[in-house]
Structure 1
Amino acid sequence: MRFDFDDCRFVELDVARQAPALHGAEGVMDWTGLHLATERWMERARAAGIGAGHAVVISGHKEMAFVVAMLGCLQLGAAYVPVDTINPAARLHRITGLVHAQAVYDAAADAFLPGVAEPRPLAEPGLAYVMFTSGSTGDPKGVQIGRDSVALFAGWIRDCLALGTAPALMNQMLFSFDFSLFDLCGALALGGSCALCPREVIADSERFIDRLQQAQVAVWASTPSFVRQQMLNPRFDAAHLPALRVFVFGAESLTPRVAEELWARFPQARIINSYGPTEATCSTTWVEIGPALRAAAPNPFPVGVAKPYAEVFIDDGEICMAGDHVMRGYLERPDLDAGVLFEHKGKRAYRSGDLGDMDAQGRVHFRGRKDDQIKLNGYRIELAEVDTALSALPGAIAGATMVLRRPDGSPMRMVGFIELAQPGEGAVQPLPAPLQDWKALLAQRVPAYMVPSELLVLGSLPSTASDKVDRKQLEQCYAQARAAGSMRR
């Protein structure tokens, strides 16, 4: 049995019915169980008033019920809106309002909760999901992805990556992070299985390896940062994980050093690099690091060539992409659409904001960002949204963020700065009593991955000639405060 993303339904119902489909904290769910659970979920969703064209907010983490709800939405023609429990309640409430949801499905409680007072269908028809990313205006923005786009993505995994028959894929990325769709589409489209690895499993490295062993995971998809973390465990190797043979990377630059460390652990592994923003259905380019590219060892590796259904081109140094996989626009934000969406050869096209160039083989090389957006541990973060959250702390009138980077230029962590309405003495000031628990206060407004590691109080935030926060000067302030021991973690 498998899930056909072209028609959004289960097919080959008499084939391998008892084969595993999901591995999770609840045990193992076979394909028959997944099919029946999805049918039952759809009946309950209809009873809750959910129909085609509506948005359903799914709240949870790595529950099997989360996957069931996603598949149920696809079959009903409803758009699912994944919101991980890492998000504070205020953000969940805000997103529910933005999509005018009829209901919120709590995957952990297996319960339908009321949505907004006056729900209505989405204006854009034929959506598979709406995924919210960090917004430069301080408000999350909803990326609208069509059902046809998901079908193209699943078809690429099925037809181009040669993952074998019924492979088991590891799933550790949040369902509200678009790269997690790779694991689900790969497993379900190929009739394989998906090993759901929640935070508490990953936090225990031995338990994590055990989960991968039990599920016989063959395909690993993650950021390079995440695989670097696993190198601390000596059991992360081919001897303990003999089924693991394919690594797919995205969301961050892949360096030869990481690849070589991985090959030292898994000598026969295939390594595939990919690239693409949420606005282009997870990824647009891909390349397998073969012998020639491995020998050349460009640092970082290129992110590859366009997929069969996509076109990628460079416009004034910016990576652009066109095709049916490009989003249907930001949810009710034509002002944002105007700056990034356009038509190219009769197809939707998107200006990514990423800088890059293309080599003689047509491979794209990522060269950084045009703006203040960063990728930290795989999460896309607009510094402006963090700035806004900082400025809402008690007593603050302004907030700003700077990024500490590794020698290769990749973001390592964020540092926050605030200016108080009633400043004290000195350029760098003590943290006032109401802000002693500043991390918990911030976590009420933004997800944990958007909370800076340190906070400094400045007499005034430095600004540029155009009255924008001078993040370069913030770096100098940080260095001075660190030398004086003024940071608060």
Structure 2
Amino acid sequence: MNYRYNVGLAMSVLAAKMGERPALKLSGGEAVSYKELDSQSNRLAKVLRNSGLRYRDVLGIVHDKSSICYAAMIAALKLGAAYVNIDDQNPAPRLTHIFESARPKIVIGRDLNESVRFCASSCGALPIDVSDVAFQKELGQSEDSEVSEMELVTGEDPAYIMYTSGSTGVPKGALISHANVLNFGAWVGSRFGIRSDDVFTNLNPMYFDNSVFDFYGALLNGAALAPVTRKTLANGSELMHQIEEASCSVWFSVPSLLIYLMTMKLLQPNRLATVRSFVFGGEGYPKAELRKLYAAFGSRSRLINVYGPTECTCICSAWDVRREDLVDEGLVTLGPIAENFSAIVLDDGREVPSGSVGELCLLGPQVGLGYANDSERTSIAFPLNPLNVRWPERMYRTGDLVRLGDDGRRLDFIGRKDNQIKHMGYRIELEEIEAALNRIGGVLQSAVVHKSSKQGQKMIVAYVAVDAPLDEAYLREQMEQLLPAYMIPQRFDMRASLPKNANGKIDKIALLDAM
């Protein structure tokens, strides 16, 4: 086989090396070896090819964290098709847009629901239900041999599409390449000191960017992955039991989950004895809560604060939290940018000096390809580096405001340049929530803000101007038809009108100050 720079080949080579070592550690003590997962992906690739999936097509996966779904991801990579993991609980309008934007040739999953089947039918995608007897028979008869398409796949080919919130109310599908993924996997292995006996938690949903660390951090470094299903995640006691049963050593979640488990007294110093690294990111970790985690585990485990946009392959910085980081208030530093990135901090197109604030722009081999079937937003978010006049160098504008440290390397997060937030680990455009609210009858105008409660926890609050009596229960019910649960505001404040500033625009500063 000719050498190609692609993830499918890397996983195939690693599977031959790892053999019977566990790749997946499922609940109840069940394990799937590297050899078994590789074999399953080879056979599934043949089934998908026979069903019409080709090089540079897109495979939709309704991911339930079963071994067949992980095998589907690897099968797509081997075929040179990009995969997109789909949340089948998405409201219909959002699900429809994802299908129309990603344009999958095939959608695979277990017990596909009516919404998924309708969207698949509407965009001409073939639905494949893995519980179907005919599928099981074809998979069982399929040949376990190398996938010939691996010879075609290059580093610049798309590996996956990950959807994020969009400011116009339309989600954006970030396209990440094989080269992006391979660079990321190598960096994770080095930065986190990953060993073949490590076990990663897979608490994050597979349609959520944090799962990229789980999946590739483990399976590109010979470690094991311990998938936690949505049902188990909703039960703290079961979750803790499964993580301990799998002897997990690398934990990754949003801070909200760690805070919840500690508040419920499920996560205590005598638990999770094998976890040597608590990695957290996706939202800010309130210092008061982080101090509790450090007091419980700081003496025996690394606490690592990570940061990074979906468009740049999950993570671009990692900072080991120290005792001195917890003395003051505010957020823990992002630290210096990762070794496989370069970064510039710009203000109106000019590089800022040390100690100043500007927009973080990222360059390097983890910067993604752009947005799926969205050239307009790609050109805005992925412009050329204005400081490089020698050759065209593409960068990603994060929209995050950071302060550049006196050393010219350390970065401290200040806030969003636009109206985008991270809440419970999900990146959300507040305008998307406003757009949904404004579709509801009786709503004249809306403004959504992200503010702190008295306890220091961040929450989404919707201020709504109405021309008819509306109650919170009704608004919440309507919003549940339009947006995923994590985007529903925690509070609704109904008013006759919203405050305006001198320019006649809604005064969000006044709303942020409102009790």
Q: Which TM-score bucket, shorter chain as reference?
A: 0.7 to 0.9
Partner of 1:178: 209
Secondary structure of the residue aligned to 1:400 is strand
Q: Secondary structure at the match of 1:342?
A: coil
- State whether structure 2 residue 182 is matched by structure 1 residue 151: yes
Aligned to 2:302: 270
1:414 aligns to what?
A: 460
Deviations 1:71-93 (A, max 9, x none): 12111111111222342233222
In structure 2, how many angstroms separate the alpha carbons of the residues matched to 1:265 and 1:16?
35
Q: Which has the higher strand share?
A: 1
Specify the code of the residue in structure 2 equivalent to 1:280: C
CA contact (8 A) 2:243 2:272 kept: yes
CA contact (8 A) 1:245 1:270 kept: yes
Q: Retained in 1: the 8 A contact 2:164–2:427?
A: yes
Find the partner of 2:195 among 164, 173, 186.
Answer: 164
Give the Cα separation in 1 of the matches to 2:37 and 2:305. Answer: 31
Tell me: CA distance 1:189–1:298, structure 2 relative to 1, closer, same or farther (3 Å).
farther
Q: Give matches, 1:213-362, under 5 Å.
A: 213-254=244-285, 256-266=287-297, 267-290=299-322, 294=325, 299-316=330-347, 317-344=358-385, 345=388, 346-361=392-407, 362=409
Letter paired with 1:282: C
Of the candidates 47, 52, 56, which is equivalent to residue 53 of structure 1?
56
Count of residues paired in the alignment: 462
Helix, strand or coil at the partner of 1:273: strand
Structure 1, unaligned runs of 5 or more: 425-429, 480-489
Partner of 1:392: 439
Q: Matches of 2:10 and 2:97 in 1, distance apart?
A: 29
Residue 313 of structure 1 deviates from its aligned partner by 2.0
Residue type of the partner of 2:194?
A: L
Match of 1:68 among 66, 71, 85: 71
Contact 1:389-1:399 within 8 A present in 2 as well: no
- Asked if 2 retains the 8 angstrom alpha-carbon contact of 1:166 and 1:187, the reply is no
Question: 1:25 deviation in Å?
Answer: 4.9
- Which sections of structure 2, spanning at least 5 residues, go unmatched? 1-5, 127-154, 348-357
Distance 2:18 2:368 in 1: 35
SS at match of 1:9: helix
The CA distance in 2 between the partners of 1:261 and 1:384, in whole Å, is 34
**Is the 1:60–1:84 contact (alpha carbons within 8 Å) kept by the matching residues of 2?**
yes
Deviations 1:122-146 (A, max 9, x none): xx96111111111100111111111
Q: 1:297 to 1:155 in 2, by over 3 A?
A: farther
Q: Is the Cα–Cα contact under 8 Å of residues 281 and 325 in structure 1 kept in the other structure?
A: yes
Cα separation, 1, equivalents of 2:328 and 2:495: 44
Task: Tell me the CA shift for residue 262 of structure 1.
Answer: 2.0
SS in 1 for 2:394: strand
Identity in percent: 29
Letter in 2 for 1:449: Y
Match of 1:404 among 426, 451, 457: 451
Task: Give 2:426's aligned residue.
Answer: 379
Using the TM superposition, give the Cα deviation of residue 171 of structure 1 relative to its aligned residue in structure 2, in angstroms: 1.2
Q: 1:16: Cα distance to partner?
A: 4.5
CA distance in 1, matches of 2:9, 2:15: 14
> 1:24 — aligned with what?
26
Change (3 A) 1:211 1:398: same
**3-state DSSP of counterpart to 2:182:** helix
Q: Match of 2:342, SS? A: strand
> What CA distance in whole angstroms lies between the structure 2 residues aligned with 1:388 and 1:252?
23
Say if 1:109 and 1:51 are closer, same or farther in 2 by CA, change over 3 A: same
| Comparing 298-307 and 269-278, the one that deviates more | 298-307
Verify the 8 A CA contact 1:187 1:193 in the aligned structure 2: yes
SS at match of 1:306: coil
Range that drifts further, 384-393 or 358-367: 358-367
2:97/2:170 contact within 8 Å kept = no
* Letter in structure 2 aligned against 1:24: L
Contact 1:63 1:107 in 2 (8 A): no
Report the Cα distance in structure 2 between the residues aligned to 1:34 and 1:215, rounded to whole angstroms. Answer: 18
Q: Structure 1: how far apart are the matches of 2:105 and 2:370? A: 21
The 2-side partners of 1:359 and 1:6 are apart by 40
Query: Deviations for 1:87-138, whole angstroms, at most 9, x for unmatched residues?
Result: 2233222211112221222245599964554579xxx961111111111001
Per the TM alignment, residue 290 of structure 1 is displaced from its structure 2 partner at its CA by 4.8
Counterpart secondary structure, 2:271: coil
Letter in 1 for 2:291: E
Q: Does 1:42 align with 2:88?
A: no
Q: Deviations over 1:399-448 (max 9, x none)?
A: 3322331469x76222223344xx24xxxxx426xx85432321222111
- Given candidates 451, 462, 468, the residue that maps to 2:505 is 468
Query: Residues 203 and 465 of structure 1: is their aligned pair in 2 closer, same or farther, counting only changes over 3 Å?
Result: same
CA shift for structure 1 position 199: 2.8
Counterpart CA distance in 1 for 2:268 and 2:381 is: 42
C-alpha separation in 1, matches of 2:69 and 2:478: 28
Aligned with residue 139 of structure 1, among 158, 170, 193: 170
CA distance 1:245–1:297, shift in 2 (3 Å): farther
Is the contact made by 1:276 and 1:284 (CA closer than 8 Å) also made in structure 2? yes
Q: Does 1:5 align with 2:36?
A: no
Cα distance, 1:374 vs. partner?
1.1
Among 439, 442, 454, the residue aligned to 2:476? 439
The answer to whether the Cα contact below 8 Å between 2:343 and 2:363 also exists between their aligned partners in 1 is yes
Partner secondary structure for residue 176 of structure 1? coil
